[in-house]
Each structure stands twice: as C-alpha cells, then as structure tokens.
Amino acid sequence: MTHVVSENCIKCKFTDCVDVCPVDCFREGPNFLVIDPDECIDCAVCIPECPANAIFAEEDLPPDQLAFIEINAELARAEGWKTITRRKESLPDADEWNGKPNKINELIRDAS
C-alpha cells in the first residue's frame, strides 16, 4: 500500500510533509503535491504534518477521493513534476482554499 495526497491539497500545497519524508517520494506540480506510489514506503510520518489533512493511507482514503490514487500515480510520472525534498511557502491564498470542496477542476496538471 501507499499513501495518497487528496483533493484538499489542490490550491493549498502546504509542504510540511516533504520535510519528514525519509524517501523523498513527493512530487510537486503548480498547485498540488502527489506521492509517488513506487517510492512511498508506507511509513505514515507525513500524515500528521499536513495542515490540510490531505494525506491518507490508500486503504483509509474516503470513498469520494478514490480517484486520487490514480491521479497521484499519473502525476508522479508526469513531465515537469519534480521531486520536492524541502519545505517551502504554501500558495499565497492557501488558507482561503483549505477545506473547500470540489477543487478537482482547479488542479493544474501541466507543470512544464
């Protein structure tokens, strides 16, 4: 199993989680982070670090977020989605977007 970044990360992109990841499995896009399922070791240290509560063990993912299993896998391999290993500032309006539902249409997939 792996961990999955869910919809609430979109337009927030808090990066507290990347500082604690022992295997550098996070990839960064313009307004979202993903976890590379081939790199994740299922340690769960990222979960409590996420201020948006957007990271779940795959088996604990809410039913309405199951599409994010494939989204994480796809974008982890997408061109331009680079490994992120250090915390950086969140997006300027992250606090306003944190907790808003139905943000999937806001996801920017093209990182180039």
pTM listed for this prediction = 0.95
From the list 26, 50, 29, the residue with the least C-alpha distance to 39 is 26
pLDDT digits (tens, 9 = 90+) for 8-21: 999 999 999 999 99
53 φ/ψ sector (left φ>0, alpha ψ -120 to 50, else beta)? left
pLDDT digits (tens, 9 = 90+) for 44-103: 999 999 999 999 999 999 999 999 999 999 999 999 999 999 999 999 999 999 999 999
CATH for 3-88, options being 3.30.70.20, 3.40.47.10, 3.40.50.10420, 1.10.520.10: 3.30.70.20
From the list 7, 25, 105, the residue with the least C-alpha distance to 61 is 7
Q: Are 32 and 9 in contact (CB under 8 A)?
A: yes
* 18 sits in which H/E element: helix 16-20
